[in-house]
């Protein structure tokens, strides 16, 4: 179980720290200087509008607190109104990059869409043979804010976190991918992929640009970078969203539209939640941003059915019948109790011995429903032990303690909006979530197991053989000699 915690958390019991109370007052920001200069942003706007993009009810301004360029509403806006419209002709998309030499070769080689975009960004920003996409590529900031581009010293602040583990995996994958490209596509086409241009640092920068500038629903096989859209700030309390609509003759074209999700006053900054379902750590890694005004701290816990469990096949059938997978990832946070699905999965994972009769085929259509409530005292205790001990072991794996990080935050030693602050908040978010889940299950194990109603008692109650106080209803039969 410790591996599940490290690889990748319940309204807390009384006395557990709340995440909101420990944050410094701050503004929503792009963490670590990932915001381009005003000149670069103006250049991006000029390029995009030349391609047909429109700032319909938005214009460029400056954040009075951070002195960074931001987009604001240029008039009062009602919900559903469009603020930014970008036609697909202006996107950095697979069809558009295929018009370039590098894009054509990347497409012919069958590379994944994101990789095709990244290679074209390298050529357009760092190469000499440029297309019309060069205007967009050159407008992107050199420093994108994502930990993919942090220095070794800066990434040390993330040591022990899930973000650090994922970051290392990403970098290993990107280096391997680059080596394969060097040995194949680059070697076969040296004129299109000159070694002085297609270097590993340039490649990683381009990959980071694609990751940080693409937003749902323009992702996956439909991935595209829509200029101007990426100038909208990341905010959890968003006032806009991105949608894609059909356009043109017979609806063959598409436009990316940033529309208001609520009424917006003239001059109000535009904000979009880049990843509504993601915690702060993954958002920082993917986009190089963190909204410190509305934090979403947490820890991603992966639960996997044990392959060595003699009942693993039965358990796999049960979870698949419930529409789940044998390995599931759940977000645990400082201020929420574990969800019903996660608890059910944990109970199923720990079914053994006397409880294994529930896995029989006659119960197959009902067993997932049984898992929604406590199964037996032994099973519930195993669940509590697994989560409490796993969380404590994970906490022990960090180079600093929760209290040390809280002290560092309260000391105001980390500048607002800096990478050091972002790393500190990520560490705290993970640790507070682990501490919360450990305390929740420790308290449950110590005080509640004897008071819970388990499967056998629920079954007897449904049959009318046990009353609501847990007393059998057939004792009088024997006492009175009726039976």
Angle at 438 between CA 437 and CA 444, to 5 degrees: 90
330 shares its domain with 436: yes
Domain containing residue 330: 2-26+293-462
| Within-domain flag for 232 | no
Cβ neighbors of 402 (< 8 A, separation 6 or more) are: 395, 428, 431, 432, 435
Is position 437 within any domain? yes
Q: Do 301 and 448 belong to one domain? A: yes
Which of 196, 214, 232 terminates a domain? The answer is 214
DSSP 355: G
Residue linked to tokens 């816990």: 301
* 306/432 same-domain check: yes
Q: Is residue 209 part of a domain?
A: yes
For residue 231, being part of any structural domain is answered with no
Query: What tens-digit pLDDT sequence spans the chain (483 residues)?
Result: 544 564 443 322 222 223 333 444 334 444 444 556 788 888 889 999 999 999 999 999 988 877 788 999 999 999 999 999 999 999 999 999 999 999 999 999 999 999 999 999 999 999 987 888 999 999 999 999 999 999 999 999 999 999 999 999 999 999 999 999 999 999 999 999 999 999 999 999 999 999 999 999 999 999 999 999 999 999 999 999 999 998 876 667 899 999 999 999 999 999 999 999 899 999 999 999 999 889 999 999 999 999 999 999 999 999 999 999 999 999 999 999 999 999 999 999 999 989 999 998 888 889 999 999 999 999 999 999 999 999 999 999 999 999 999 999 999 888 888 899 999 999 999 999 999 999 999 999 999 999 999 888 887 666 555 555 556 555 554 455 444
Q: How far is CA 383 from the centre of its chain?
A: 26
Question: Which residue is associated with the tokens 């996660």?
Answer: 342
Kindly state whether residues 322 and 173 are assigned to the same domain.
Answer: no
What is the reported pLDDT for 25? 36
End-to-end CA distance of the chain: 50
**Which H or E run includes 44?**
helix 38-50
440 with 317, same domain? yes
- Cα distances from 201 to residues 168, 309, 398, 436, in angstroms, run 15, 45, 29, 40
Both 337 and 432 in a single domain? Answer: yes
Judgement on whether residues 209 and 314 belong to the same structural domain of the protein: no
Q: Are residues 298 and 442 in the same domain?
A: yes
Could you tell me if 98 and 16 lie in one domain? no
Query: What's the rounded Cα separation, in Å, for the pair 37 and 140?
Result: 9
Answer whether residue 196 is part of any domain. Answer: yes
Spatial neighbors of 461 by CB under 8 A, at least 6 apart, are: 467, 468
* Residue 86 included in any domain: no
Looking at the structure of the chain, the number of domains it has is 2
Domain of 440, CATH number, reads: 3.90.1420.10
The answer on 458 and 324 residing in a single domain is: yes
- Asked if residue 289 lies in contact with residue 29, where contact means CB atoms within 8 angstroms, the answer is yes
Check which CATH number belongs to the domain holding 161 and give it. 3.90.1410.10
pLDDT for position 130:
82
Q: Is 282 helix (H, G, I), strand (E, B) or coil?
A: helix
The span from the CA of 347 to the CA of 223, in Å, is 39
Which residue(s) pair with 84 in the sheet?
55, 258
Residue 4 is encoded by which pair of tokens?
């599940």
In a shared domain, residues 111 and 9 = no
Tell me 467's DSSP state.
Answer: -
pLDDT in the model for residue 310: 94
Would residue 287 count as lying in a domain?
no
**What is the pTM (predicted TM-score) of this model?**
0.85
Same domain, 407 and 320: yes
Domain termination residue (choose one: 179, 214, 249): 214
**Where among 162, 193, 214 does a domain terminate?**
214
Query: 474 in a domain, yes or no?
Result: no
At 30 the three-state DSSP class reads coil
pLDDT (0 to 100) of residue 213: 95
């Amino acid at each position: 179980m410790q591996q599940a915690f490290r690889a990748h958390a319940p309204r807390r019991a009384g006395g557990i720290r709340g995440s909101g109370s420990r944050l410094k007052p701050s503004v929503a920001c792009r963490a670590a200087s990932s915001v381009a200069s005003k000149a670069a942003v103006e250049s991006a706007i000029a390029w995009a509008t030349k391609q047909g993009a429109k700032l319909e009810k938005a214009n460029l301004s400056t954040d009075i607190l951070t002195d960074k360029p931001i987009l604001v509403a240029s008039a009062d806006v009602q919900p559903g109104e469009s603020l930014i419209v970008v036609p697909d002709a202006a996107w950095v998309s697979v069809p558009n990059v295929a018009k370039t030499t590098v894009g054509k070769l990347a497409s012919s080689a069958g590379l994944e869409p994101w990789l095709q975009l990244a290679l074209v960004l390298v050529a357009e920003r760092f190469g000499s043979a440029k297309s019309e996409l060069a205007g967009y590529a050159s407008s992107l900031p050199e420093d994108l804010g994502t930990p993919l581009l942090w220095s070794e010293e800066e990434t040390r602040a993330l040591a022990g976190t899930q973000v650090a583990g994922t970051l290392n995996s990403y970098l290993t994958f990107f280096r391997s991918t680059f080596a394969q490209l060097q040995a194949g596509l680059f070697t076969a086409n040296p004129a299109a992929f000159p070694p002085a241009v297609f270097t590993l640092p340039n490649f990683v920068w381009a990959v980071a640009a694609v990751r940080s500038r693409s937003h749902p629903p323009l992702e996956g096989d439909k991935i595209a970078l829509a200029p101007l859209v990426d100038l909208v700030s990341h905010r959890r309390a968003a006032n806009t969203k991105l949608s894609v609509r059909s356009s043109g003759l017979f609806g063959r074209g598409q436009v990316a539209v940033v529309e208001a999700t609520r009424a917006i006053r003239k001059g109000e900054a535009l904000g979009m939640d880049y990843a509504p379902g993601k915690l702060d750590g993954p958002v920082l890694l993917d986009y190089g941003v963190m909204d410190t005004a509305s934090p979403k701290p947490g820890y991603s816990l992966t639960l996997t059915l044990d392959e060595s469990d003699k009942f693993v096949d039965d358990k796999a059938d049960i979870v698949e019948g419930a529409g789940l997978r044998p390995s599931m990832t759940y977000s645990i946070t400082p201020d929420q109790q574990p969800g019903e699905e996660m608890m059910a999965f944990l109970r199923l994972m720990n079914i053994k011995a006397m409880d294994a009769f529930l896995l029989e085929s006659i119960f197959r259509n009902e067993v997932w429903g049984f898992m929604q409530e406590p199964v037996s005292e032994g099973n519930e205790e195993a669940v509590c032990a697994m989560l409490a001990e796993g969380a404590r072991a994970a906490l022990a794996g960090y180079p600093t303690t929760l209290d040390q990080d809280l002290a560092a935050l309260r000391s105001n030693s980390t500048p607002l909006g800096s990478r050091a602050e972002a790393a500190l908040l990520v560490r705290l978010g993970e640790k507070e979530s682990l501490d919360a889940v450990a305390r929740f299950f420790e308290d449950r194990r110590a005080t509640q197991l004897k008071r819970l109603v388990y499967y056998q008692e629920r079954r007897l109650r449904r049959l009318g053989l046990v009353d609501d106080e847990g007393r059998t209803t057939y004792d009088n039969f024997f006492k009175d000699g009726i039976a």
